[in-house]
A and B are shown apart, each in its own frame.
Chain A
Amino acid sequence: MDKKEESAGERKLQCSDVSKCFELLESILDGEMGDPGKEVLKEKLAKCQPCFEHYHLEQAIRDLLKTKCSKQAVPGELVDSIRTKISDIK
């Protein structure tokens, strides 16, 4: 089964409903479909080339967002300022 997933030759080259399929793939990637989603994913990756490519592209973008998106440091005075304001209204 795993070997089959790696071979592009056996996948169909056209996806009949790209928009629906990709939206579904994204929901699966977001962990919204649970175990049934994993089965659907396995099937799609094995049988459909556009889905296979979309999956890997989506995965790469998610990794990039998670690991490389620049983060702002919280300004040091912000926490103190919040605490001061809170103690004023207590």
Chain B
Amino acid sequence: MSEVQRRKYSQEEKNSIFDGEFMPHIDSMYNFAYRLTFDEDDAKDLVQDTYLKAYRFINSFEQGTNAKAWLFRILKNSFINEYRKKSKQPAKVDYQEVETYYNSDDVDFRGTTDLRAESVKDMIGDEISNALNSLAVDFRTVIILCDLEGFTYEEMAKILDIPIGTVRSRLHRARNLLKEKLKGYAQHMGYNTDEEE
């Protein structure tokens, strides 16, 4: 992740890194971009821009380090710097307010007593996808990186430029929010979420 250019790769090495280490992640990159933008064209532009930047700055990529995390970091920064500004964001959630609210013990306890593992197991893809997509982007991002893409907290800290402790607490809050959404679906499905039957 160092910004320092260690050495210059030859054209052949550049091609080999690009094809061998960058392109294999296009599937994850596109899905990450789509989950950030919810738009096929925006997602395509974002991924394309990311790969062009990756190529342009390939000398700052150190071979043997985690290419996927390096690419995700570029994509996340491009999204924040360019797309988030221009995109018509739906009803912006007050991040601070949400974070403060869900930091209380009360919510933790309620969240787990009201939703049961059994009702979650019967849910289908649409419900979990909708629940995830309805979260504010910062919360959605940590769940995508951790649970869908399998990044470690340390890798997430580098991708998001935040301390590991913040990764941990943001994930915890994101999961509480996700559980609240899933609870809504469980109730809609007719599960008794308040007490065991």
Contacts and interface: CB of A to CB of B under 8 A. Distances in A.
Interface of A: 17-19, 22-23, 26-27, 30-32, 50, 53-54, 56-66, 68-72, 74-75, 78-79, 81-82, 85-86, 89-90
Contacts of B113: 50, 53
A19 B108 contact: yes
A89 B175 CA distance: 43
Given A26-B171, A61-B179, A78 B48 contact: yes
B23 interface: yes
B55 A79 contact: no
B5 interface: no
B137 interface: no
29 contacts: A18-B105, A18-B108, A19-B104, A19-B105, A22-B172, A26-B168, A53-B113, A53-B117, A57-B112, A58-B175, A59-B117, A60-B117, A61-B182, A63-B121, A64-B123, A65-B143, A65-B148, A66-B148, A68-B123, A69-B128, A70-B126, A72-B31, A74-B26, A78-B26, A79-B23, A79-B26, A81-B48, A82-B47, A86-B18
B197 interface: no
A50 B110 CA distance: 11
Contact of A30 (B125, B129, B153): B153
Contacts of A70: 125-126, 129
B47 to A, nearest CB: 6
B46 to A, nearest CB: 11
Query: At the interface, is chain B mostly helix, strand, loop or mixed?
Result: helix
Interface in B128-184: 128-129, 132, 143, 146-148, 152-153, 168-169, 171-172, 175, 178-179, 182
Tell me which of A26, A64, A78 has the highest count of chain B C-beta atoms within 10 A of its own C-beta.
A64
B30 interface: yes
Contact of A85 (B43, B52, B115, B172): B52
A59 B121 CA distance: 10
Contact of B109 (A50, A59, A89): A50
